[in-house]
Structure 1
Amino acid sequence: MTNHLKSRLSAAAFASAVFAAGAGGTALPSLAAVDCGEAPAAPAHHLLPANADTVHWGYFAKGREPVVAAHSGDFVTIETLTHHANDDAERMVKGDPGAESVFKWEPGDKGVDRRGAGPMDASALGRGAGEGFGVHVLTGPVYVCGAEPGDVLEVKILDLAPRPSANPDYAGKTFGSNAAAWWGFHYNDLIEEPKPREVITIYELDATGGKDWAKAVYSYRWVPQTDPDGVVHEIIDYPGVPVDHSTVTETPALEGIRVPIRPHFGTMGVAPAEADFVDSIPPGYFGGNIDNWRIGKGGTMYYPVAVEGALLSAGDPHAAQGDSELAGTAIETSMTGVVQVILHKKDELAGTPLEELDYPLLETDSEWVVHGFSYANYLDELGDTAQSDIYSKSSIDNAMRDAFRKMRHFLMTTKGLSEDEAISLMSVATDFGVTQVVDGNWGVHGVIEKRVFAD
């Protein structure tokens, strides 16, 4: 989302409605005592399916009861669902028991009722429980045994594969949705009529992984949709609204175009400590909705732990995305990943690349990547109204400065450079790029190749 949100929603109303104690509804239960037992002799492998009992929709929460308890070194196969699956339910939901349980929506009965960090009674805008203040379907959380504030959690992404369509009419295929929507950077700069407009493009992928590209199947313009509870959605303002395809016109799109796929988690992170419910859209020191296509197979993320057990969750899977995610989304598709969680205790970090780490850091075989944001910790820096104000206060200038500061810290702390040396190296050997301009807290990443360092 961008600062267009401010034109549609009073920041004061947003803040008062959403982030009072308990988020305007029933508060999460206290985190139950987790029985970790003794660490196994060999790493365990946990299966974390995606269904209505294992996902939380649109928020991170430090009081969310864990679904899995894992020891350092354990592996987790984690199923993740795209919150855009109902853009074409025939292709992305039908026949899939897990997805059907999550996206179930009958009058007065949703498979997952709360969708966002807003009030459960929809008293702010009347959109639905949670108000869509946060949109991503997140699987988890995973409680990491022994994790405490000040530690660092390492998450190795060992595999990431498309979730096949369960509709027999589309056997061997996977589908995803791209929304050029009202929160996109382009929205107030359109040149063709009608203006404004929101456009959904449905993409097809090879579920077997045999093809490394996606192709568009069709697109349609969003028209007002009435959800099963009778609420009319003039724009895409609440996640998981089932689209009635008899009301839209499907047209061919991007014929002859192949989009290289770069599967990755758009959203993955640990629970922040500053609030009970945290909107899943703006990223921050805890990770979250970073939307960096490099966070895929072969990548390793490092997160500073803010709460007991870390409470790792993942979702918002993407098949492909360019830097900036300009129109509002990537190719949003459901995927299954295999990760390994490794805990680094605070007293063991000195002299390592994780020393004093207070931001999400990415490592690949060949690169280090730091993530800067308009506000490094917007939840703390912007005070009581942080989760509303962030949408109107983001800037690329701030994000670039934060990325610079983090790369400077990385080079000086982990590589022993002086400030002058670090600044020179950043200018001649570091690539800074726009990660995203659509998530409230805008992002800039800094990339430095490992081969720069002789050791």
Structure 2
Amino acid sequence: MTTDIPKAGRTIHIRRDQWHLAWDHSIPPIARISSGEVVEFDMLEASCGQIQANSTVEAIGSLDFSRVDQVHGPIYVEGAEPGDTLEVEFLDLQPAEWGWTGVIPGFGLLADEFPEPALKIWHLEGGADGWAEFAPGIRIPLAPFCGEIGVAPGQPGALPTIPPYRHGGNMDTRHLTKGTRLYLPVEVPGALFSMGDGHAAQGDGEVCGTAIETPMHAVVRLTVHKDRSVPEPQYLTGGPLIQRTNTAPYYVTDGIGPDLMEATRNAIRHMIDHLQRNYGLSRSDAYMLCSVAVDLKICEVVDAPHWVVGAFLPTSIFTK
């Protein structure tokens, strides 16, 4: 990894080998830009290159988790000071021609129920506006975004990249697609922006812990706002919420109960049963399909403590 800092220009290019594995304001920036300039990233997928297009399930078993969810950067934005807001405008997001989805033992919403590793390697067609075939008769429209986006924390010391924080991090928010503007709270001089974890498609919730993980080419514009302050990430979508991911009815399974997380688990359990019974999928394949295509929604919280969580399956992914 290089620490050379190029001079500000029209576009700064960040290479795939320019990454780090913690949110830490002591990590020196690899580039400096002026507010409003554009940064172009070429990024590894979330395993930091451990999983390749020709990998088998053995790659999940040997995965070094300490190298997972690397982020590329950091970028120093001139003029950014604590209390400011950094706007991240997503100008372009292009996935590679392949991706992967895995069941990683000990990870995900139903970790106790899926102790065995699983891996699916995807062939991605048509770039950002394309699709990927999960199985014959099941096609997933692509809607690329990056799961890891953030700035350095104000507190000293290193924070792992796996969780989300108030300054960003592993938000895994599928609506941060091209055209969206994300607003992050600046906590240190220069903001020290980084991003990574390219996803070609994901359902709200990413229930098995992985989406369609893919190397990503991303272009963003970074702008400092002195006249506003946000306490945690906020964003303005580029339009309606990813309407192309479904053009037909949804099939919904509810989970209901006094514990919000258990209601969520039940909604996914019911959806897994539905996919097995009606589409002939194995249980692990149904679980992975939920992660890349099913949206979790909190449907009702007013009748405490009886929460309702829905798992929304877009039926247009079924082409037969």
- Same fold, judged at TM 0.5 (above): yes
Q: Aligned-pair distance for 1:185?
A: 1.1
**Residue number in structure 2 paired with 1:213:** 131
**Residue from 79, 101, 117 that aligns with 1:198:** 117
For each residue in 1:269-296, what CA deviation from the matched residue of structure 2 results, as whole angstroms up to 9, or x when unmatched?
1011223211001101111100011111
**Aligned pair partner of 2:19 in 45, 51, 55:** 55
Measure how far apart 1:87 and its partner are. 2.5
Question: What are the within-5 Å matches in structure 2 for residues 41-440 of structure 1?
Answer: 44-51=10-17, 54-56=18-20, 58-84=21-47, 85-88=49-52, 90=54, 132-133=65-66, 135-163=68-96, 174-181=97-104, 182-189=106-113, 196-206=115-125, 208-209=126-127, 212-216=130-134, 254-345=135-226, 348-349=227-228, 356-366=229-239, 433=297
TM-score, normalization by structure 2:
0.67
Q: 2:103 corresponds to which letter in structure 1?
A: A
Question: In the alignment, is the contact (CA less than 8 A) between 1:36 and 1:145 conserved in 2?
Answer: no
Q: Is the 8 A contact 1:161 1:263 kept in 2?
A: yes
SS in 1 for 2:42: strand
- Normalised to the residue count of structure 1, the TM-score between the two structures is 0.48
> In the alignment, residue 189 of structure 1 is paired with which amino acid?
E
**Cα distance in 2, alignment partners of residues 70 and 47 from structure 1:** 11
Give the aligned length: 240
Give distance in 1, aligned partners of 2:79 and 2:6: 11
Letter aligned with residue 209 of structure 1: G
Give the AA of the match of 1:364: T
Deviations 1:116-155 (A, max 9, x none): xxxxxxxxxxx99xx8457212110110011111110001
Offset at 1:210? 7.9
Q: Tell me, what secondary structure is at the counterpart of 2:213? A: strand
Q: How far apart are 1:188 and its partner, in Å?
A: 1.9
Whether the 8 Å contact between 1:59 and 1:134 is mirrored in structure 2 is no
Paired residue secondary structure (2:51): helix
- The code of the aligned residue for 1:213 comes to W
Amino acid at match of 2:27: R
Alpha-carbon distance in structure 1 between the residues aligned to 2:204 and 2:145: 13
Cα displacement (A) at 1:307:
0.9
Q: Distance in 1 between matches of 2:185 and 2:236?
A: 15
In the TM superposition, residue 336 of structure 1 has moved relative to its aligned partner by 0.5
Gaps of 5+ in 2: 56-61, 242-258, 262-295, 299-308, 310-320
Letter of the 2:102 counterpart: A
More displaced 10-residue stretch of structure 1: 180-189 or 305-314: 180-189
Moved more, 134-143 or 297-306: 134-143
The alpha-carbon distance between structure 1 residues 179 and 70, as it changes in their structure 2 partners (threshold 3 A), is same
Percentage of matched positions with identical amino acids: 35
CA displacement at 1:48 relative to structure 2: 1.3
Structure 1 unaligned segments of length 5 or more: list them: 1-30, 38-42, 92-126, 164-173, 191-195, 217-253, 350-355, 369-394, 398-431, 435-443, 445-455
| Structure with more strand by fraction | 2
CA–CA separation in structure 2 for the residues paired with 1:288 and 1:337:
16
Cα distance between partner residues in 1 of 2:222 and 2:76: 10
Higher Cα Rg: structure 1 or 2? 1
AA paired with 2:51? D
Let me know the Cα RMSD of the aligned residues. 3.1
Q: State the secondary structure of the residue aligned to 1:188.
A: helix
CA distance in 1, matches of 2:7, 2:157: 24
Q: Give the whole-Å Cα distance in 2 for the aligned partners of 1:144 and 1:175.
A: 32
Is the 8 Å Cα contact of residues 145 and 176 (structure 2) preserved in structure 1? yes
Report how far residue 211 of structure 1 moved: 5.9
Q: Secondary structure at the match of 1:331?
A: coil
